Amino acid sequence: MKGLLKVFLGVLTAIGGFVDIGDLVANAVVGARFGLSLAWVLVAGVVGICLFADMSGRVAAVTGRGTFDLVRERLGPRAGLANLVASTFVTFLTLAAEIGGVALAFELATSVSYLLFVPLVAFLVWFVIWRMPFEKMEQAFGLAGLCLLAFAVALWQLGPDWGELFRQASHPSVPDGEGHPTYWFYAISLFGAAMTPYEVFFFSSGAVEEGWTRKDLKTERLNVYVGFPLGGVLSLAIAATSALVLLPQGIEVDHLDQVALPTVLALGKIGLAVLIVGFVAATFGAALETALSTGYSLAQYLGWQWGKRTAPKDAARFHAVVLVAVVLGAMLVLTTLDPVKVTEYSLVFSAIALPLTYFPILVVANDPEYMAESANGRVVNALATGYLVLLTVVALAAIPLMIATKAGQ
């Protein structure tokens, strides 16, 4: 049991990366429009994030260094700064969206306008970061996030033709009525979302917060290989339920309430209640992850003391940045900007940050001066090199595709 409790850093990281507010809706959109024909992207994303999260976690355990530390060290101050600006912007936009997302989940439970919840949510996010111990935080939100498994239960209850689902997933094709650019735009969005940089910032810094050392490499691996595949399974379950229920009805998903609809039809009020708990936990977890990541990456780039483990007075600038980010994020949502749309556009900045984040991780994970015998093996290196090329292609293709398809419309 104690060993099991140790996997929640990975679980929380993955939930924040795979089923945050943007992804909850995006997975349902994709399911309702493309069925399971984009499932392969999720699989590719899970493998990719596992590879690089494992590397960043390993480096953190062996050297005690967070990922952004390495980014600056290997790319130099200029390219490091370009990455810092791009990735902080993505992370901040996502944070704003998540604050809105938690509020939207509260709205589903109470039907009170989400805007009224925004200040409360922002305060709670900050308060948890200020006061709640790191381990407690990841256990509470990781565990509650597991409520999203209701999607998987609903899928099973809906009694699909599993063979047909598998056939769709394993023989991807662009459905009638959808253009190739749109299909590829969504493919890139899902892939980018699966590999979004704040996951490795959070995971590696979390490893440092938990005080992992070389002795914890097993725990680190367990976290990666339990957490991220779980995130992938949840995403698939969301896509599959909406493919089964919403696709035949020609429903275009725009809101969180529609994401829940198949599960409500399958599991009723209890399913809905569990799902809303899951929504709150996942979006709140993602808000914590992004708020902390903003602080982590900035502090690591500039060499400040960071972390929840030290008293706030000893990491004053780090805590100041987190506080400011949460306040600004809440203000951005209060302008009534649609939280879900916000995450769609953050893709552009993500595209710049992806290669600039994963390349230094790969280099350092191979550096014998840092890693000694824990350096990457040949298979990991071969795969990771392939992903690096892929990420670069994705980064180059993202912006033209986004313009050509008007962000997938």
Partner 1 sequence: MRGSDLLGAPVVSRSGAALGRVLDVRLVQDGPLLGAFAAMRVEGLVVGHRRTSARLGYDRVEAHGPWLVATVVRWLARDNRYLPWEQASLEGHRVVSGLDELLRVPFIT
Partner 2 sequence: MKRAVAILTATLVTGMVTGCVSPSRTDRDYELKAGNTAKAVASSVATAILGADAAGRHKATGPYLSVLLGMAEKDALAVQSTFDSVQPPDATADRLRGTVDDLLGSATTGLTEMRIVCRRGELDKLPALADRLRSTLDGLRFLADHFQ
Partner 3 sequence: MTGRVRDLALHLLDRQVVDTEGKAVGNVDDVELVVPEDGSPPYVVAILTGPQALARRLGGLLGQWLGFWSHALSRPDSSEPGRIPMELVTDIDTQITVARTRQELGVHRNEDRARQYLILRIPGARHARQ
Interface residues toward partner 2, by CB under 8 A: 107-111, 177, 245-246, 249-252, 254-255, 257-258, 260-261, 264-265, 267-269, 271-273
Which amino acid, one-letter code, is at 371? Answer: M
**Hey, how many other C-beta atoms are within 10 angstroms of the C-beta on 358?**
26
Site string for partner 3, 287-306 (x = CB under 8 A): ------------x--xxxxx
Place of tokens 């709140």: 284
What residues between 296 and 355 interact with partner 1 by CB under 8 A? none
Q: Which is nearer to partner 1, 331 or 383 (CB)?
A: 383
381 part of the interface to partner 1, by CB under 8 A: yes
For residue 381, the partner it binds in partner 2, partner 1, partner 3, none, with Cβ less than 5 to 8 A by kind, is partner 1
∠ Cα 142 223 82 (to 5°):
90
For residue 79, the partner it binds in partner 2, partner 3, partner 1, none, with Cβ less than 5 to 8 A by kind, is partner 1
Q: Which is nearer to partner 2, 111 or 311 (CB)?
A: 111
Q: Alpha-carbon distance 58 to 220, whole Å? A: 7
Query: Pick from 125, 362, 398, 402: which binds partner 1 (CB under 8 A)?
Result: 362
Q: Which is nearer to partner 2, 161 or 257 (CB)?
A: 257
**Hey, how many other C-beta atoms are within 10 angstroms of the C-beta on 396?**
12
Min dist CB 76 to partner 1, Å, is 6
Place of tokens 């945050």: 20
Site string for partner 1, 68-87 (x = CB under 8 A): ------xxx--x--------
Min dist CB 305 to partner 3, Å, is 4
For residue 109, the partner it binds in partner 3, partner 2, partner 1, none, with Cβ less than 5 to 8 A by kind, is partner 2
Site string for partner 3, 61-100 (x = CB under 8 A): --xxx---x--xx--xxx-xx-------------------
382 part of the interface to partner 1, by CB under 8 A: yes
For residue 384, the partner it binds in partner 3, partner 1, partner 2, none, with Cβ less than 5 to 8 A by kind, is partner 1
363 part of the interface to partner 1, by CB under 8 A: yes
3-state secondary structure 355-408: HHHHHHHHHHHCCHHHHHHHCCCHHHHHHHHHHHHHHHHHHHHHHHHHHHCCCC
Residue 351: CA count within 13 A, CB half-sphere: 18
Query: Pick from 112, 120, 130, 404: which binds partner 3 (CB under 8 A)?
Result: 130
Cα dist from 359 to 54, 107, 192, 367, 388, whole Å: 14, 41, 15, 13, 7
Min dist CB 221 to partner 3, Å, is 21
**Hey, how many other C-beta atoms are within 10 angstroms of the C-beta on 362?**
20
213 part of the interface to partner 3, by CB under 8 A: no
In terms of Cα–Cα distance, which of 341, 338, 346, 343 is closest to 103?
338
User: What sections of 195-314 are H helices per DSSP?
Assistant: 198-209, 217-245, 256-302
CA Rg value for the chain: 20
In terms of Cα–Cα distance, which of 292, 260, 231, 296 is closest to 17?
231
How do the residues of the chain divide into helix, strand and coil, expressed in percent and rounded to 5? 85, 0, 15
Which amino acid, one-letter code, is at 138? Answer: E
Q: Which is nearer to partner 2, 79 or 273 (CB)?
A: 273
Place of tokens 């990771």: 384
Q: Which is nearer to partner 2, 264 or 397 (CB)?
A: 264
Q: Which is nearer to partner 3, 369 or 373 (CB)?
A: 369
Among the listed ranges 19-27, 28-36, 281-289, 368-376, the one in contact with partner 1 (CB under 8 A) is 368-376
374 part of the interface to partner 1, by CB under 8 A: no
What residues between 332 and 371 interact with partner 3 by CB under 8 A? 369-370
In terms of Cα–Cα distance, which of 337, 347, 294 is closest to 118?
337
Min dist CB 109 to partner 2, Å, is 6
376 part of the interface to partner 1, by CB under 8 A: yes
> In which element (H, E) is residue 66 found?
none
Q: What residues contact residue 37 under an 8 Å CB cut-off, 6+ apart?
A: 168, 169, 172, 173, 174, 175, 183
Residue numbers at the binding site for partner 1 (CB under 8 A): 74-76, 79, 359, 362-363, 366-369, 376, 381-382, 384-385, 388
Residue numbers at the binding site for partner 3 (CB under 8 A): 63-65, 69, 72-73, 76-78, 80-81, 130-134, 299, 302-306, 308-314, 316-317, 319-320, 323, 369-370
